[in-house]
Amino acid sequence: MRYLLLLLISLPLIIIQARTEVIDYYDSAEDGLVSQNVIVNGYPWGGVAFTKFQIDKDAFYFGLRFNLIKAERWSFKDADIILDGVSYVLSADNQSSQRITYTDYQNTALYPLYSPVISDLREASKVTIKVNFVGRNSITWNIPDDVLSEWRAVIGL
């Protein structure tokens, strides 16, 4: 009984390791690259997608989409991305909150990443993102090195 109680108490302390996955999509009509995504699953996020869309022959759009599964609707505010101590403010865009189960909502927001952020992200050795919410505590996420490497690979392609 004592071991069961110890196990139950320690379960919340288990850290879920972030997993990365790169997904490529191709437009079969022109055989041109349409988008690339690095999907990260792991605490505290239900998923984070680092996305690169090709919008013209030499023009790209970059963005971060955060997915948060909660028992209530959450509304995203601006986020701070800190690259080696240099902070940029990202504006939340394209938010949604949808009920996915009887008890849970899937809350998502897209944060566009502009040229100065992408330029500094290529060289940054430490990246932290602080996502702010309306009426809730912020979530701060230190980007693991393997995730950062995947993001750089997508930027460079």
The band of 24, judged by pLDDT with boundaries at 50, 70 and 90, is low
pLDDT of residue 10: 35
* DSSP E strand boundaries for the chain: 19-27, 32-42, 45-56, 59-70, 76-83, 86-90, 93-99, 105-113, 127-133, 136-142
Between 141 and 35, where is the model more confident? 141
7: burial class by Cβ within 10 Å (0-12, 13-18, 19+)? exposed
Domains delineated in the chain = 18-156 (2.60.40)
As a whole number of angstroms, the distance between CA 114 and CA 79 comes to 13
pLDDT of residue 7: 32
pLDDT of residue 13: 33
pTM of this prediction? 0.80
Between 85 and 39, where is the model more confident? 85
Instruction: List pLDDT tens digits, range 44-89.
Output: 788 888 988 888 777 889 999 999 999 999 999 999 999 999 999 9
As a whole number of angstroms, the distance between CA 35 and CA 24 comes to 6
Worst-scoring range by mean pLDDT, 19-28, 31-40, 67-76, 144-153? Answer: 19-28
Q: How many CA atoms lie within 13 A of 56 on its CB side?
A: 2
Worst-scoring range by mean pLDDT, 27-41, 57-71, 130-144? Answer: 27-41
Between 79 and 30, where is the model more confident? 79
Instruction: List pLDDT tens digits, range 97-106.
Output: 999 999 999 9
Phi-psi domain of 13 (left: phi exceeds 0; alpha: psi -120 through 50; beta: other): alpha
Residue 123 predicted with pLDDT over 70: yes
